[in-house]
Amino acid sequence: MAILNKAITQLFALTLTFALAAQAHAARLKDIADIEGVRGNQLVGYGLVVGLAGSGDGNSAVFTSKSIANMLEKSGLRIDSTEIKVKNVAAVIVTATLPAFARPGSRIDVTLSSLGDAKSLQGGNLIMTSLKGTDGNVYAVAQGAANVGGFSIEGGGDAAIKNHPTVGVVPGGATIERSIPFDLFQSHKVRITLREPDFTTLTRLVSVVNTYLGRPLAVAVDGGTAEIAFPADVMRNPVAMLASIETLEVERDIGARIVVNEKTGTIIMGDAVTIGRVALAHGNLNITVRSESDVSQPNALSGGVTTTVTNTDIQVGEEKRKLAVVGGGQPTLGELVKALNSLGATPRDLISIFQALKKAGALNAELVVM
């Protein structure tokens, strides 16, 4: 067991060292920031999936029967919704994302999610469904065969289910009917927003952009946003200019942070993590309870009774770990990992150590517990 624990510890140390030893490098502006206004918009609609093989909504889903009645009424057939009892239809919520700069005639994927008690959408076909935005306007119309990628089979008291058959996708199933009016360069300036606001990173971003343009057109608005002015000469081809700006490399300034997941024993540390000089000992209390049963059998013709005697042995021990001094000065990440692994700590032990160091005020980093 000791050899196994040592092997696990060494493997973890090697993995952690390779995962964290890489130094921070510059990243493209487009990989760490977004252009304000360039985003997708959510669309949603309510529809019916028909053609199911008895796996649709049951009679308890009243809205499904009413929807069928309304659909038939629009086709010239009036029928009472209480008289409708079909299992080949399922009510679904249809969702999609309208991409930025999408134009009428373009096609997008839609996702179908069962709203009632349907068992599967396999083999179904979505009938024409309007997709609306938050303003209530219709921006796309969806229709097509559902692609589930799973199945649900029941029979003779047995059942078999693969993946999630009550959610499906219609690839390219929606046609965009209306675009969202948006002129990115109307104000002759654009705003760039960092995905993780940081004053140092933003200052570097502004400097890089101004150096590339050769004039101070970029200015920091706050800790996460920079505004770039587009003068008349740039407005002749603003798309090309923006394309060249978003490929500029900016050196990120990442704060010291440790992310731990106690459920999986995962630890991720940034290379800026340091600890103050502390004396640290970590030992595990081991309690072993062992029971053995002995049979007491009397001699022949003695008239005694056979009995069972239980002997219980309880041992309490504590690992003998020497007090180790770690941290102090400005150790590198590799030195920190080496010092912690010299204690023979497993990943879960390290999580406890980091939490204790944080409580003691010796951990110079943000500790994030997932």
Summarize pLDDT for 287-306 with one digit per residue, the tens: 444 555 666 666 666 666 66
What is d(CA 57, CA 59) in angstroms, rounded to the nearest whole number?
7
Q: Specify which residues 140 forms β-bridges with.
A: 131, 176
Residue 27 three-state SS: strand
Q: According to the model, what pLDDT value does residue 133 have?
A: 92
- Which backbone phi and psi does 356 adopt, to 5 degrees? -70, -40
Per-position DSSP letters for 104-172, written without gaps between them: TT-EEEEEEEE-SS-S--TT-EEEEEEEE-TTS-EEEEEEEE-B-S-EEEEETTEEEEES-TTEEEEEE
The confidence score (pLDDT) of residue 311 equals: 57
> Which residues, at least 6 apart from 313, have a Cβ–Cβ distance to it below 8 Å?
289, 290, 291, 292
Quick one: CA dihedral 250, 251, 257, 261, positive or negative?
A: positive
Distances 233 to 62, 207, 242 between C-alpha atoms, Å: 62, 21, 13
Q: What is the pLDDT of residue 263?
A: 80
> Residue 29 in contact with residue 205, Cβ under 8 Å?
yes
Predicted confidence at residue 226, as pLDDT, reads 93
User: For the residues 341-366, what does the mean pLDDT come to?
Assistant: 77
Q: What is the mean pLDDT of residues 113-139?
A: 91
Q: Using a pLDDT cut of 70, give the percent of the chain over it.
A: 72
The mean predicted confidence, pLDDT, of the chain is 79
In this prediction the pTM is 0.67
Q: What is the pLDDT of residues 267-288, one digit of tens each?
A: 888 777 877 777 766 665 444 4
Q: What is the pLDDT of residues 17-59, one digit of tens each?
A: 434 433 446 889 999 999 988 888 999 999 999 999 888 888 7
Non-local (6+) Cβ contacts of 121 within 8 A are: 49, 52, 55, 90, 92, 112, 114, 146, 148, 165, 166, 167, 168
Distance CA 144, CA 172 (A): 9
Q: Other CB atoms closer than 10 Å to residue 98's CB: what's the count?
A: 21
In this model, does residue 12 exceed pLDDT 90? Answer: no
Q: How far is CA 76 from CA 50, 69, 172, 251, 336, in A?
A: 19, 11, 30, 66, 77
In the numeric block, which tokens belong to residue 313? 């042995």
Q: How far is CA 248 from CA 30, 198, 223, 337, in A?
A: 8, 18, 19, 34
In the chain, the N- to C-terminal Cα span, in Å, equals 29
Radius of gyration of the chain (CA): 33
318 pLDDT higher than 80: no
Quick one: DSSP state of residue 302?
A: S
